Amino acid sequence: MAVVYLGLGSNVGNRARNIYSALRRLAPGVRLRQISSLYETEPVGLSDQPWFLNLVCSGETDLSPQTLLELAKQIEQEMGRRGGPRFGPRLIDIDILFYDDLVMATPQLEIPHPRLHQRVFTLVPLIEISPDLVHPLLKMSVQRLRDSAASLGEVGLYSFTDERASS
């Protein structure tokens, strides 16, 4: 079984419900082991949109990287994700961050995720569940990546009392 780390995010509708629904849908293909807290983070790329909720989970899978990607995309579609601008609003987003120590790059999938070391919304939750996890290309722990990174935006621990009733 491969150990995988996935990043999940949402900034449309009831963000927490979207993320936990996606986690449940991963269950047939991924045996979840750890789930970080939810973090509220400012958008990257397109700033004129609602803030995101994000978490990172780890698990074990027998799925190949490509099949895991297909499962993630299927869940996104089933939940109602539609195309839009790059870095734009999303009902749900599921990214493969790490797959064992695999390093691969295809037109459809790059592992480790090519920008995870630049994103506070992946590093902070990763540090919570696995601070000593080493990036196989950069040869640094996720804790060290965060410590050495420039300002990566705002992130705060999320409380369910923060979710607006209108979501």
Place of tokens 């397109």: 46
Whether the CB-CB separation of 6 and 95 falls below 8 Å is answered with yes
Catalytic residue, from 93, 100, 144, 146: name it: 93
Catalytic residue, from 15, 25, 90, 119: name it: 90
CA neighbor of 16 nearest in space, from 58, 53, 56, 57:
53
How confident is the prediction along the chain (167 residues), in pLDDT tens digits per residue? 999 999 999 999 999 999 999 999 999 899 999 999 999 988 877 778 899 999 999 999 999 999 999 999 999 999 987 776 666 688 999 999 999 999 999 999 999 999 888 888 899 999 999 999 999 999 999 998 888 765 556 677 777 655 543 34
Q: Is 95 assigned a catalytic role?
A: yes
Catalytic residue, from 81, 101, 147, 164: name it: 81
Going by the DSSP 8-state scheme, the letter that residue 92 receives in this structure is -
Per-residue pLDDT, 98: 98
Catalytic residue, from 15, 95, 119, 146: name it: 95
Which residue(s) pair with 34 in the sheet? 58
Query: Which one of 3.30.70.560, 3.30.450.40, 3.30.420.280, 3.40.50.300 gives the CATH number of domain 2-161?
Result: 3.30.70.560
Per-residue pLDDT, 71: 97
- Count Cα neighbours of 111 within 13 Å in the Cβ-side half-sphere: 21
Q: Is 93 assigned a catalytic role?
A: yes
